[in-house]
Structure 1
Amino acid sequence: MADLIEKELPSFSKPEEAMIFFSAHGVPLSYVEDAGDPYRDQMEECISLIMDELKSRGIRNNHTLAYQSRVGPVQWLKPYTDEVIIELGQKGVKSLLTVPVSFVSEHIETLEEIDVEYKHLALESGIRNWGRVPALGCTSSFISDLADAVIEALPSASPISTARNHQAENDPLRYVINLFFGSILASLFLLSPRLISLFRFHL
């Protein structure tokens, strides 16, 4: 994500003045405060790590976090994206680079809610320069990180069939039955192309 932000900042005439605006998908407040969902802490930690990386590259823009996509009458995580956009405009922020921090792909909440609704609200609120970082999508660094996470998890993972295989090994009769029917199925799979060819030949 730091790479994408760094790539997008030069689109502003004064990149150093652009506010980096992280907009994450919200969740009902009760999920966090009552059910103990770590989502808010994870978002804040994620943004802290991104900003640390940007600072290591000499990028020291101001930033803020808000939550979008709330529905229904219950209270969701605050601050809300639409309210923060209005407040930033009132405070004199003129350039806003929006980062869809919790969205890994482009969809209605980025293409419509952010690109259309929030952009319109920002311009109405006095923000003159609008930019948006694309979702991670299939960026090579993101895919590599996912692959690394899978590889790290593999040693602790066990195949679903382990228990069944263990039972079969301890039961000689079941082992013989499995071996017998397995051999038949394997033979059918191996012979099926030849059988199909013979069938076609005799038609």
Structure 2
Amino acid sequence: MKGALLVNLGSPDSPEPKDVKKYLGEFLMDERVIDIPLVARTALVKGIILNTRPKASAAAYKKIWWDEGSPLIVLSERLKDKVQEETSLPVALAMRYGSMTIKKGLQELVDKGCDEVFLIPLYPQFAMATTETILVLAEELREEFFPNLKIDSLPPFYNNPDYISILANSIKNELKGKDYEYLLFSYHGVPERHIKKSDVTQSHCKIDGSCCATPSKAHEFCYRHQCLEVTRLVAEYLELKPDTYSTSFQSRLGFDPWLQPYTDRTIERLGKKGIKTMAIATPAFVSDCLETLEEIAMEGEEIFHEMGGKEFTTIPCLNTNKDWVTFLANKINNWSKNGVEA
């Protein structure tokens, strides 16, 4: 019997500092998130970050927390329920970090009789800290707890024409009837070293402004290329003029160089430049979460207004968009019939 497991990032159990600290500890100790030697990572995370950041992060979570719980969890559960309505295969939901573990998700499907699972990382683009860490953990769990289980996974779908049209139309519909001068595509940032570590050619990625536009096998695992490609394809679909949109990266941590340009500084620059009305989309996320609801919709808007901007529109993630639901259901149904697509 076959089943599907949707996997998103995760969330603290509550916006209280103790729960946020527990969640951040698990998240930041992942060697694919902070990819430095264990001793140094432990000193950084447990010695510094977990003694300073949980209180501030908890305050941020409290700003966006819903009565039903974490927006990311609630929206992911709604998505799972909607997808279930469009497929006869059992569908479960898990998170890479937090109490809704991948092990629990796999166990739920196994308990329903599944011996084959289609793992769907809810990330359009590949990254060490998202897709890769999910796939690696799932395989470790399979070997240790579910040796008779077969697991296939959905490849990154950043350039899938159906996905691009769904994303582009969601942006178009949200901006219908609204005046805006500039559209910013903001993606979650990663350290530059992650890009070079993911380069299967060990030579292509230079992060120099040209390598992402030069065809290479490296692009299969290059987060930067895949983000830029989403922007390019959506802009092409929407027929945007070159000087009315751009790409930026948010949520950096520490002092090492991360992908640039940074979103907060880009918003500041646009305001100083005299842009009065702007919109911002966040295509690295499929469900609204702390990074979209607080960092962009609250902090980003505040920066824009401080720089003289007037209208700041945050475009919601796909969440439970009907076409997005159908896209995922079709992937599951096609896998059930034909196996994993190339």
Task: Return the TM-score normalized by structure 1.
Answer: 0.68
The within-5 A match list for 1:14-163 is 15=179, 17-36=180-199, 37-55=221-239, 60=241, 62-154=244-336, 155-157=338-340
Higher helix share: 1
Deviating more after overlay: 28-37 vs 121-130:
28-37
Look up the equivalent residue of 1:23 and give its one-letter code. S
In 2, the alpha carbon distance for the partners of 1:147 and 1:40 equals 27
In 2, the alpha carbon distance for the partners of 1:18 and 1:135 equals 21
SS in 2 for 1:126: coil
Task: Return the TM-score normalized by structure 2.
Answer: 0.42
In 1, the alpha carbon distance for the partners of 2:324 and 2:244 equals 24
In 2, the alpha carbon distance for the partners of 1:81 and 1:9 equals 20
Say yes or no: does 1:3 pair with 2:169: yes
In 2, the alpha carbon distance for the partners of 1:141 and 1:32 equals 31
Look up the equivalent residue of 2:172 and give its one-letter code. E
In 2, the alpha carbon distance for the partners of 1:143 and 1:124 equals 38
In 2, the alpha carbon distance for the partners of 1:144 and 1:54 equals 22
In 2, the alpha carbon distance for the partners of 1:134 and 1:90 equals 25
Contact 1:95-1:130 within 8 A present in 2 as well: yes
In 2, the alpha carbon distance for the partners of 1:152 and 1:48 equals 28
In 1, the alpha carbon distance for the partners of 2:177 and 2:263 equals 22
In 2, the alpha carbon distance for the partners of 1:140 and 1:8 equals 14
SS in 2 for 1:112: helix
In 2, the alpha carbon distance for the partners of 1:11 and 1:124 equals 25
Look up the equivalent residue of 1:26 and give its one-letter code. G
Look up the equivalent residue of 1:54 and give its one-letter code. L
Cα deviation, residue 80, structure 1: 0.3
Cα RMSD of the aligned pairs, angstroms, is 1.8
Cα deviation, residue 153, structure 1: 4.1
5+ residue gaps, structure 1, are 158-203
In 1, the alpha carbon distance for the partners of 2:306 and 2:169 equals 29
SS in 1 for 2:305: helix
In 2, the alpha carbon distance for the partners of 1:153 and 1:30 equals 34
In 2, the alpha carbon distance for the partners of 1:72 and 1:143 equals 36
SS in 1 for 2:249: strand
In 1, the alpha carbon distance for the partners of 2:254 and 2:177 equals 37
Cα deviation, residue 150, structure 1: 3.2
Look up the equivalent residue of 2:317 and give its one-letter code. A
Cα deviation, residue 114, structure 1: 0.7
**Residue number in structure 2 paired with 1:177:** none
In 1, the alpha carbon distance for the partners of 2:232 and 2:310 equals 27
In 1, the alpha carbon distance for the partners of 2:249 and 2:177 equals 25
5+ residue gaps, structure 2, are 1-166, 200-220
Contact 1:22-1:64 within 8 A present in 2 as well: yes
The within-5 A match list for 1:167-186 is none
Deviations 1:152-186 (A, max 9, x none): 444235xxxxxxxxxxxxxxxxxxxxxxxxxxxxx
| Higher-Rg member (1/2) | 1
